[in-house]
A and B are shown apart, each in its own frame.
Chain A
Amino acid sequence: MRFSHVLAAALAVAPLAVQAQDAARDLAASCAMCHGTNGRSAGGNEPLAGMPKADLVRKFNEFRSGAKPATIMHQISKGYTDQQIDQVAAYFAAQKK
């Protein structure tokens, strides 16, 4: 693929596509009611902002498999795909604590 073609394609598509970053941000917003806006906990529930991505993915998968006991996250975690978990974890890892 030539550079000019890629550039042309990117120029044509970029303004219309949902930015992956925005999609991750939207997904992460569905965690805020318990874990705080942008994962910064208002106290009580575990903060997610600034946690290492790998730790977040591992914990989420442990909730999903039942390896990590929970009151609610074992039920919520089953509603998300691996790709969504990856996106959300990357988003929270990039937030300031």
Chain B
Amino acid sequence: MSSIDRRAFLKAAAATGAVAGFSSLTGCATTPASSGRVVVLGGGFGGATAAKYIRMWAPTIDVTLVERNAAFVSCPFSNRVLAGTMKLEEITVGYDKLGPRHGVRVVRGEAVAVDTAKQTVTLAGGNALPYDRLILSPGIDFMVETIPGLASAEAQQRVRHAWKAGPETAALRAQLEAMPDGGVFAVVIPKSPYRCPPGPYERACQVAYYFKSRKPRSKVLILDGNPDVQSKKGLFMAAWNGEYKGMIEYRPNHELQEVDARTGTAIFIGDRVRADVLNVIPPQKAGEIARRAGVVNVNNRWCDVDWLTMESRAAKHVHVIGDATQSAPGMPKSGHMANQHGKIAADAVIALMTGRAVNDEPMIANTCYSWVNDREVVHVASVHAYDKGQKTMIAVKGAGGLSPAASVKEGAYARAWADAIWYDLLG
């Protein structure tokens, strides 16, 4: 391009910008016209991020966030609450900044129905919220009905999952505190995929850390439904064979068949384990509202999405993000991932509502920290890019990796990560 052409091009580009700016103002003399309504269901790592980022990037779009809990409680770091080295309050963040700072309308309530033809959400109590675009960030529900002995509320009070942070975390911590020295804590892991692949192994470390200082004759049993450790294997094994030697035992290929909640017994093919504190992480599926919206279309469990837009492949104008999605290859179900799904969805929703092209080269950087004790941390990192041929996100070859060993330095970075990501979704 010659310099004259270049100048002409810039002038032309400026002119189109002016035209676009003018057209968006027509029909509204005083306040900017709304360019549409977005409803977000679920204020976790995915939904809160999507709501905030849409408002940050496109303030003319009305955004309503529906959340049933009074405050956000982070699953990452909740294993430290079990260890007694962090308090529940320290992993809890309010929704109070999203309104004043970003203009997100936060509604505390529960969505009970979605009509994808009429484009409305119904809340418990009967109120209806119309939408132009719906973002579902429903997280996971537990398939307790698939485990004999775990279906009743009474059984679930005795055998906690603590796989959603909050009252469950506090209840499991109380069980650990009440357990006598010399007792056994058993954590039962479902077959993959499940929320937070390294989480159960981190939990074993955190409970062992607590036992080591307070109940040193106690044991931690890991009963894994999978044939091997699902994440950061070498790094976790180093802790189990190192500082927790003789305290943590790992048993693979333990797919749970039945629970006797009264005696705290987990039953497997060829093995029965009685524990003083039995912690069962049940198999999981997309949160119930996704099924009611008709977007659960993989194995009756997960939601298949277009990874350029996060739009459901089962219903138009409905986007699904976070753990509820049918994961892309090598992509864990995690809060960090959900946060980035939220940003991809935010940008795509804005593009689709304002008539611009969708970004066809989305990127995700993944960082996942696990605590092995009260100060040392290990990580796994990866970078994911959209592949136009395979039409999905894939891990970029040559990028990513693991910590060489647990370190105090990464403990400091992990704390900084938590502060940054909590702020990124709610600050």
Contacts and interface: CB of A to CB of B under 8 A. Distances in A.
Interface of A: 1, 3, 6-7, 9-11, 14-19, 22-23, 25-27, 29-37, 41-45, 71-72, 75-80, 84
A77 B382 CA distance: 10
A15 to B, nearest CB: 6
Contact of A16 (B356, B365, B424): B356
Interface in B311-356: 336, 339-340, 343-344, 347, 351, 355-356
A33 B367 contact: yes
Given A33-B367, A44-B412, A79-B383, A15 B20 contact: yes
B9 A34 contact: no
Contact of A75 (B12, B356, B400): B400
B423 interface: yes
Task: Identify whether the interface residues of B are mostly helix, strand, loop, or mixed.
Answer: helix
B355 A34 contact: no
B416 A34 contact: yes
Contacts of B340: 29-30, 33
Contacts of B412: 44
Given A7-B12, A10-B16, A30-B365, 8 more contacts: A34-B421, A37-B424, A42-B424, A45-B417, A75-B401, A76-B365, A78-B383, A79-B382
A9 B401 CA distance: 45
B250 interface: no
B363 A71 contact: no
Contact of A23 (B343, B359, B416, B427): B359
B185 interface: no
B9 A10 contact: yes
B423 A42 contact: yes
Interface in B13-50: 13, 15-17, 19-20
A26 B377 CA distance: 29
A7 to B, nearest CB: 4
B: interface residue count bin: 35 or more
Given A33-B420, A45-B416, A6 B9 contact: yes
A76 B420 contact: no
Interface string B411-427: 01101110111111001
Contact of A30 (B56, B363, B410, B416): B363
Contacts of A30: 340, 343, 363-365
B107 interface: no
B379 interface: yes
Contacts of B19: 11
Nearest to A73: B381
A77 B1 CA distance: 33
Given A1-B5, A7-B12, A44 B399 contact: no
A60 to B, nearest CB: 12
Nearest to B339: A33
B403 interface: yes
B396 interface: yes
A34 B383 contact: no
B398 interface: yes
A90 B343 CA distance: 20
A75 to B, nearest CB: 4
Contacts of B382: 79
Interface in B368-419: 379, 381-383, 385, 396, 398-401, 403, 407, 409-410, 412-413, 415-417, 419
